[in-house]
Each structure stands twice: as structure tokens, then as C-alpha cells.
Amino acid sequence: MEEAAGRQRKRQRDGDMAPSTEAAAAAAGPSAEAQYLYLPIADALKVPGVRICLFAAVSEIGAAVRSRGTDFTLTLRIVDQSRASGISVTFFADNTALLPCVRSSGHVISLHNIMIALHNGELFVTYNKKFSSFALFEGKVSTECRPYQHSAKYHGSKHDNEILTQMRTWLSFHPQDHEDIELQLRSIKSDSAFDLICKVLHVREASNGVWILYVWDGTDTPATEFQMILDTESDISPPLHLEEAPLPREVLCTMPCVGSVLRVFTNRFFKELLHLQKGTYWARFCNITCKQEFGMWKGIMLPICRVRLLSNEDGSVVERLKMFDSRIAVKVHRQPMASLPNASDITDVEYKSAGYSTLMESLTHGEVLHKIKTLVRVVAAYPCQARDLSLVLAGKHGVRLTLEDPTARIRAYIHRDDGAKFFGGFLTVEAATRKMNKLLGIPEPTDTDVGEQASASKRNPPWIWCCLKSYYLDEDDIWGSRRYRIYATEIRD
């Protein structure tokens, strides 16, 4: 930890380099022969107002935004051996191309002729575009010693290579990617804060100043549990999405068909939003929380949450992209993660060899009329009570199901002509009710349950295979009036 600082102090004693920071500042002119004394951050903090040089790792990358003046501005957080908490550096430039463009956290930055300044009791690095300069180097895995970006006035020092190697060695033991607190969408939890590394696919301002971010990392959010009684007795179907209004079809069609898209809600404006609105960026959501609403996962950005932009080259991003590539390369791995290794065999579908599609693949399909084979959970059914199921078995009433997979929720109908077949023939009402309960994840009553309030517990519907075909009701609004009908699917005995 103190080793590098010690080494530099030793050099000063040996007269190898400038003996004081003031002298170092004097030496740090634009001459190619200039010597640059790199101070550990902790030492730099002791000499505010003096021109100094730092060689540090970038731990956080802010968004480039317009300043309140005429420039663009960008803030980085940098760390080194001497100060793991790091220090904030703000850059200004009249053109965003002149700002440092750090490809990944964990990359290395050299800063010449900067100053430490105190503001509101906190120390910051002041970068002055008139006399400061910077250079950016790759991180721990690289042996390339040339900077991949440097400001016009940057002059490399003869010690740069040596210090860069030291910094990379330190970084290999102190990676700046915070992997220990990172979760993937597949492992999110309620009631605790964590970091998510996600691609922001879309940003939308809801009517009341609430922002919704649509984020994805290539994995599936965990299957949720549902209330036992309330929603199964209601003739009001559970909602299909958390937003007041669903996404327009043209936006939905830009989203991936495999992996969940989490809706993240915030009522706070943060400057990274400007970037996230412009294109699809990867970002780190620090201290995000999630909860379930109507059995759907909802991301919440409390005031403690921060957002950091990540590049496609960031280690955590590369890892997620690789995982997704290997996921979609294997057909069976496109299926809901929670359904693996085996989906239930509660249903039987006629088209054994037909390919599998996610619900999102169907929703974004170019043709309004098509057929798919899916692997879904039955969130709700109406009717589902015995008294009504007799009408279904008699072909006098259809059934409306709410189906979900990790990519979407839809409503699907069992037409009254198909009801008897869906339940596997002409059954007693009791047998049909048992089958319906199986679909909904309602356990068979057992001796231990007798007298217990079933309403107090939760149900966990199984994953079932299901064939769907789309149709529409209105010739003049084929997309708006599209419906789904279950066919060629039968609940087993």
C-alpha cells in the first residue's frame, strides 16, 4: 500500500528527482525533457494549490454534459494505492472529443499540472484546460504502454512506463469493477440494495415526472410467487405491465427477444439520463433496489442510487455479453432460466418438433398472424372456479388466461370449442378443477392443510408448454385488436 509512495519519497531523498513539489511544478514545463513527479493521491492532498502530477486508476466514469458555462464537462473518480476511496476530477473542454473518453473503469490515467482544491470541506482535483494535461492507458490485462488518448499538451515522462506497470500490478490485486456486490437480473432480490450492470435499452418520461428505464443484461428475472386466493377469484385480470401505458410497438420491436427487460422507476433527474436517452448504453446502477408488483419485478432508484456509464469494453459488460452469446447459441438455453433443467409435463402439445419462441418473439413478430410454441406460467385464469368450469366443459364458456414468461405477459383465450379438449376430454367438474389448480400452482389440499387458511400462502405456477396462435378482431386495426388463442394444448391427467 505505502510501497509506491515510499519509493517516490526515496527517489526524492536520492536527488534522483525534484526534492519538493514546488520544484517539481517548476520542472513540469512543456519541454520534452521535462520531469514529472507523480505523487500518491494521499500526498497530493497535503499540498493544495500546488501544481502536481498524479498517476491513478479510474474507478468511476461520469457522463459528459454541458456545463453552465460554455464548455462540456466530465467527472471521473480516480484511486491509487494511497487512497482507495479516491478523489474526484472534473474536466472541461469546448468539445466533447477533447474530454477524456475512458473505455473502462480500471483503466489508468496520468494527470500533469493539476491542483488540489478544497470545496465544501472536500478535496477535489482541479484540472485547468490551459495548463493541465492527461493521458489514458489500458488497465491490468494490457502490456501496451502507449496512451490510447491524450490531451494535446501531454508529454510522456520517462518514468511513465515504470509507474504504469506498477499501477497495473496493483490493479490486478485491486480490480475496480466491484464484482462482489454485482447481481445479474437472474439473481435479483427484494428488500436489499445491490449493483446491476445493465444495458439501458430505452428511457421514457412518464406523465408525472417519473422516469422509466428499460434495462436488460441477457438473463431472466426470477419467477415470482402469486397470492393464493385474491387474484384467482377475481374476474379482473392481473396487469400485463407496470407502466400506465404499454410501450409503442415500434419501441418494443427494438428490444431483445431473449432475457428479461426490467422496468426501473425513478422520480429523480440525474445527468446520466441525458446519455441514456440518446442511445443504448451499458450502465452500472449502484445501490438499486427491486420489488415485486402484481408478480412482476420492478426496479426502484432511491436517492441513494447512483448511475455510472460503462463502455462496451468494460470487464463486467464483456462478461455479460459473452454469457448471453453462449446462452443464445444453445437452443434449450433460450428457454426461461427458471424452467431449466426440466419444464413440467403438465401439458401435452401436438407439435413436439416445433421450435420454441419466447412471448417477446411473438409480440415483435413482423406478421400479425402466426403460431408459436411457448414455455409459460399461468399467472391467472378466469373463470377458474368449479361452478364455472362446468360451462367450459360443456362448450358454453371460454377461459381467459394470463400467461407470462421472462420476456412478457400476455392474455390468451381458450375458445369455448377448445375447452373440453384443453382439459383432456369430457371430465367431471372436480377433475377439471384439479387440473386448473395444477396450472395455477395451487397445491392439492392435504391433511396438514385442513383448517389452515390457504389464502395466507403463495402459489408458484409451473412452467408449461403451450401452443398459441394469434388472430385479430378488427380488420382496420389488426395490431391493436390482436388476440391470442391457445390451441393444440392439453392438460395431462
Partner DNA sequence: TTGGGG
Q: Which residues bind DNA (CB under 7 A)?
A: 60, 67-71, 73, 75, 77, 88, 90, 92, 94, 117, 119, 122, 124-127, 129, 286-287, 303-304, 306, 308
287 vs 457, beta carbon nearer DNA = 287
If the CB atoms of residues 113 and 335 are measured against DNA, the closer one turns out to be 113
- Contact between 100 and 74 (Cβ < 8 Å): yes
Which has the closest alpha carbon to 107: 154, 167, 54?
167
**Cell numbers found for residue 388:** 364455472
Backbone angles phi, psi at 343, to 5 degrees: -75, 165
- Contact yes or no for 64/74 (Cβ under 8 A): yes
In whole angstroms, give the CA distance from residue 355 to residue 349.
Answer: 12
Q: How far is the CB of 205 from DNA (least distance, A)?
A: 19
> Is 278 in contact with 238 (CB distance < 8 Å)?
no
Q: At closest approach, how far in Å is the CB of 92 from DNA?
A: 4
Q: Tally Cβ neighbours within 10 Å of residue 147.
A: 19
Q: Which residue type does 280 have? A: T
The smaller minimum CB distance to DNA, of residues 76 and 261, is found at 76
Smaller CB distance to DNA: residue 65 or 229?
A: 65
Q: Which is nearer to DNA, 106 or 259 (CB)?
A: 106
326-337 burial, b for 16+ CB within 10 Å, e for fewer?
A: ebeeeeeebbbb
b (16+ CB within 10 A) / e for 346-383 = bbebeeeeeeebbbbbbbbeeeeeeebbbbbbbbbbbb
Instruction: State in angstroms the smallest separation of the CB of 308 from DNA.
Output: 5
- Nearer to DNA by Cβ, of 276 and 363: the residue is 276
Q: Work out the widest C-alpha separation in the chain, in whole angstroms.
A: 99
Rg (CA), the chain: 30
Cβ of residue 72: shortest distance to DNA, in angstroms? Answer: 8
CA atoms of 402 and 385, how far apart (whole Å): 16
Min separation Cβ 273 and DNA, Å: 13
Q: Least Å distance between CB 60 and DNA?
A: 5
Backbone angles phi, psi at 235, to 5 degrees: -90, 0
- Closest CB 88 distance from DNA, rounded Å: 4
Q: Tell how strand 489-491 and strand 72-80 pair up.
A: unpaired
76 vs 167, which CB is nearer to DNA? 76
Q: What is the residue whose three cell numbers read 515504470?
A: 162
Using alpha carbons, list the distances in angstroms from residue 50 to 24, 53, 160: 10, 10, 21
Q: How far is the CB of 213 from DNA (least distance, A)?
A: 16
DSSP class of 173: H
Helix (H) or strand (E) holding 231: helix 230-233
The distance of closest approach from Cβ of residue 175 to DNA in the complex, given in angstroms and rounded to an integer, is 16
Nearest residue (CB) to DNA, 159 versus 308: 308
CB atoms within 10 A of CB 31: 9
Cα-Cα-Cα-Cα torsion 23, 25, 31, 33, nearest 10 degrees, comes to: 50
Query: Distance between CA 198 and CA 221 in Å, rounded?
Result: 13
CB of 43 to DNA, least distance (A): 17
